[in-house]
Amino acid sequence: MNAPQLEAEDLEKVYGSGENRFRALKGVSLSARTGDSLAIVGRSGSGKSTLLHLLGALDRPDGGRVRYEGEPVDTMSTRDQDRMRNREFGFVFQQFHLEERASVLENVALPMMIAKVPAKERRERALEVLDRLGLADRADENAANLSGGQRQRVAMARALANRPRVIFADEPTGALDVENGATVADLLFELNRDDGITLVLITHSTDLARRCGRRVTIVDGELAPDDPAATEPVR
Ligand SMILES: Nc1ncnc2c1ncn2[C@@H]1O[C@H](COP(=O)(O)OP(=O)(O)O)[C@@H](O)[C@H]1O
Ligand SMILES: [Mg+2]
């Protein structure tokens, strides 16, 4: 058995202070191995996005520890965190977060610009990944001109641009119609299965959660006790 790729130990997150102090995470521990698919489920407001932000080093915990490949992430300098995130992680959010005034190609190339990939290679790699997602012919289009499903595929292409080892997806199909949602979900599972990219997926969809190898449920900032029925993948 290989060691965990991603590990959270006793994570605490507090928002606000005084009367507004709110414990969003109350000691959450979990881990994922390379190539895992992990669903994080739970009601709205339970702390799912907060947890994903801590795992993906988009935010720092107020207690506990996050490790990636055995390295403590929460104590890294912001610069090292940025570098690691850029190199190792891809993110897909419900609301796409594209640069609307930039072209599709520019959006996909952005993480590679940050990673200082040379221009020619940026373009080649962006086109390659857009091709894989069925969007090569839209490369020069403004992102704002695309449909929701196409925009989410651009966001996925951008997440893939630096060949990440982990994809964090926060309700990636939440803003899509059924058909586009299915396309995006299939792509995520294909990347997990065929490319061995670890998938951490927040979803409200029982179907999507069941397609993951493992599921954890968050209730009011805590992991619900293991549901034995939830430990085996349904395929
Ligand atoms: N930046 C913030 N400031 C204050 N409260 C927040 C902030 N982000 C989230 N919260 C609160 O923390 C709780 C968990 O939020 P979140 O992790 O977004 O839940 P989920 O993704 O499960 O819907 C919610 O009650 C939310 O209102
Ligand atoms: Mg959320």
- Residue 233 amino acid letter: P
Residue 235: pLDDT band with limits 50, 70, 90: very low
> Which ligand is nearest the CA of 222, by number?
1
Mutating to test ligand 1, I would choose from 14, 15, 55, 223 the residue with most ligand atoms within 8 A of its C-beta, which is: 15
Q: Which of 130, 135, 127, 212 is nearest to 169 (CA)?
A: 212
Convert the pLDDT of each residue in 56-73 to its tens digit: 999 999 999 999 999 999
Please state the domain extents for the chain.
Answer: 6-225
Q: What is the pLDDT of residues 114-170, one digit of tens each?
A: 999 999 999 999 999 999 999 999 999 999 999 999 999 999 999 999 999 999 999
C-beta contacts of 170-174 below 8 A and 24+ residues apart: 170/48, 170/49, 170/52, 170/91, 170/92, 170/93, 170/94, 170/202, 171/93, 171/94, 171/202, 171/203, 171/204, 172/92, 172/93, 172/94, 172/201, 172/203, 173/203, 173/205, 173/208, 174/94, 174/204
Question: How many angstroms is it from 216 CA to the middle of ligand 1?
Answer: 18
Please report the pLDDT score of residue 225 as a whole number. Answer: 77
Instruction: Indicate if the pLDDT at residue 1 is higher than 80.
Output: no
Q: Is 28 in the pocket of ligand 1 (CB under 6 A)?
A: no
Nearest ligand 1 atom to alpha carbon 25 = 14
Q: Is 206 exposed, middle or buried (0-12, 13-18, 19+ CB in 10 A)?
A: exposed
6-225: CATH topology: Rossmann fold (3.40.50)
Q: How far is the CA of 203 from the centre of ligand 1 (A)?
A: 16
Using one digit for the tens of pLDDT, what is the confidence trace for 99-120? 999 999 999 999 999 999 999 9
**Comparing 57-61, 202-206, 230-234, which segment has the lowest mean pLDDT?**
230-234
The average confidence (pLDDT) of the chain is: 93
pLDDT score of 234: 46
Cβ of residue 16 lying under 6 Å from some atom of ligand 1: yes
Confidence band for 227, pLDDT divided at 50, 70 and 90: low
